[in-house]
Amino acid sequence: MLGLPDTVRACLFDLDGVLTDTASVHTKAWTGMFDGYLRQRSARTGAPFVPFDPVEDYLRYVDGKKREDGVRSFLTSRGIDLPEGGPADPPDAETVHGLGNRKNQVFQQTLHDEGVRVFDGSARYLAAVTDAGLAVAVVSSSANTREVLEVTGLDRFVAPGSTG
């Protein structure tokens, strides 16, 4: 019993915060990336090192934003102005895109090293939905949607090509 009308043929789920606790992985990735960058900058410039606050700074400056927008927002809060760079910048480039790519690198490493928690009941409900013959699609603004689904094993419930 899914609690859905008989006319429903497919279910659409948000990944982040509905099926999985990706916020905790993103928080670790932002913290690791910004603290690493701020330490390097402090050593180079002599400015005091003030760490990224994983609660206040995360919620205020990066949560729910595209990577580059989060980088810009946080750096602006610290009075740091970096060149924009471009999407192909390497993770060690001192540019907005470089730091964004570094954050993504840390996210992927954390995801593979530590995994991500699947919320209680999510896998059971997805199994019930697929057992009932309904198609399942997952949406997310994250560029890492497919990877998160694979790491958690939730990809087995999702119709091919239906993530985005």
Tens-place pLDDT, residues 26-35: 999 999 999 9
45 and 106 share one domain:
yes
Active site residue 21: no
Out of 6, 16, 113, 120, pick the active-site residue: 16
Instruction: Let me know if residue 138 belongs to a domain.
Output: yes
Average pLDDT, the chain: 94
149 and 96 share one domain:
no
31 and 58 share one domain:
yes
Mean pLDDT, residues 4-27 taken together = 93
Active site residue 63: no
CATH assignment of the domain containing 137: 3.40.50.1000
State the pLDDT at residue 1: 64
User: What is the rounded distance in angstroms from the CA atom of residue 142 to the CA atom of residue 15?
Assistant: 9
Question: Which tokens go with 116?
Answer: 């991500």
Q: What is the phi/psi pair of residue 16, to 5°?
A: -80, 110
Tens-place pLDDT, residues 46-101: 999 999 999 999 999 999 899 999 999 999 999 999 999 999 999 999 999 999 99
Out of 14, 53, 92, 131, pick the active-site residue: 14
Instruction: Let me know if residue 149 belongs to a domain.
Output: yes
Residue 159 has pLDDT above 60, yes or no: yes
Would you tell me how many other CB atoms lie within 10 Å of the CB of residue 61?
22
Structural domain total, the chain? 2
